[in-house]
Homo-oligomer: A and B are copies of this chain.
Amino acid sequence: MQTNPKIQQQLEKWIEENRGHVILGTTAQYIPELGKADPSKLGICMLDEEGHYYCAGDTDIEFTLQSISKALTFIALSCHYGLDFVLERVDVEPTGEAFNSIIPFEIHRPNKPFNPFINAGAITISALLPGQTSQKKYEYLLHFLEELVGHPLEMNREVYDSEWKASHRNRALAYYLKEAKFLEIEVEEALDIYIRQCSIKVSTKDLALIGLIIAYDGYNPITKVKHFSEEIAQVAKVLMVTCGMYNSSGNFAAHVGIPAKSGVSGGIMAAVPPKLHSQTYEFRAGAGIGVYGPAIDVQGNSAAGTMMLRQISKEWDLSIF
């Protein structure tokens, strides 16, 4: 079957309509290498269950995963140790505090981080990845992701170095986790694996493909490969809905309604589950979406990307709600 030219045209039209929204954000200045990105870029790739990619705008740029990696580490770790093991070490409750806040820990003294998408939870579970060293842990995750996307991946060394130097707040968090006995390995090791995973380079196509696999509950409908269990995919989608878009996750759920995870690099990975009763024809059998728009809003999400997804979801009835 062929790609649908109407879908392609529509996406291109939406890219143009939403380009203006890039001025509602700026590139992430607190990580100098990310700050250098071109804030005017905006691109999207959508992938359907038959393997058709619909790409529009600036989709030839690679960017780093940043917080999108949090969802992927959660999945990789759950695959290896089982979901119960992971959920004993990190909760799945949303929190209204900032992603790097220590306040809820000091106030509530929880016995595990609130969820794997705040930095505290993400560092905690990254440190649990299989392997004796951060290098081994990183390789485990990288291999897992390469299996998903079907090609080699690598780290952006400049971004890694830039983040390593700018990671005082994450070090503060990690030492706090160490004090609370949530971290079993050394802090510097934990930060190394965490910052490595954040620095992995991907394209919007990669994100679309992983998003599709999550939408299909761990199953790649194109290659017919089952990568992870439905149970893991479901919890991943719950996390994406409740905590995936930083402190505007609720608004994203209300206005877009697609499980998604964003990163401060401006990437968004979204998983559109099949919706047989959809009111439109487009992507009724589900889709994966990769967005890139490095001008991020105050919450940390691609400003134009979020606006565009809102439009797309509305027009094509993609919300799970």
The interface of chain A, by Cβ under 8 A from chain B, is 87, 91-97, 101-104, 106-108, 114-115, 168-169, 171-176, 178-179, 187, 234-235, 237-239, 241-243, 247-251, 253-254, 257, 259, 274, 276-277, 319-321
Contact = CB atoms under 8 A, between A and B. Distances in A.
Contact of A250 (B94, B172, B179): B94
B103 A107 contact: yes
Nearest to A95: B96
Contacts of A178: 168, 171-172
A247 B94 CA distance: 8
Nearest to A240: B321
Contacts of A172: 102, 171-176, 178-179
A83 to B, nearest CB: 9
Contacts of A95: 94-96
Contact of A103 (B106, B115, B251): B106
Contact of A234 (B106, B179, B254): B254
Nearest to A103: B106
A176 B187 contact: no
Nearest to A299: B93
Contacts of A87: 254
B169 A321 contact: no
Nearest to A234: B321
A30 B29 CA distance: 38
A139 to B, nearest CB: 27
A191 to B, nearest CB: 10
Contact of A257 (B234, B249, B254): B234
Contacts of A254: 87, 92, 234-235, 238-239
Contact of A97 (B96, B115, B242): B96
A250 B107 contact: no
Contact of A241 (B92, B96, B174, B253): B253
6 contacts: A92-B253, A93-B250, A102-B172, A168-B187, A241-B321, A242-B249
A319 B95 CA distance: 22
Contacts of A92: 250-251, 253-254
B94 A242 contact: yes
Nearest to A259: B321
Given A168-B176, A176-B169, A238 B106 contact: no
Given A173-B172, A179-B172, A274-B277, A94 B249 contact: yes
A257 to B, nearest CB: 7
A297 B36 CA distance: 42
A234 B320 CA distance: 9
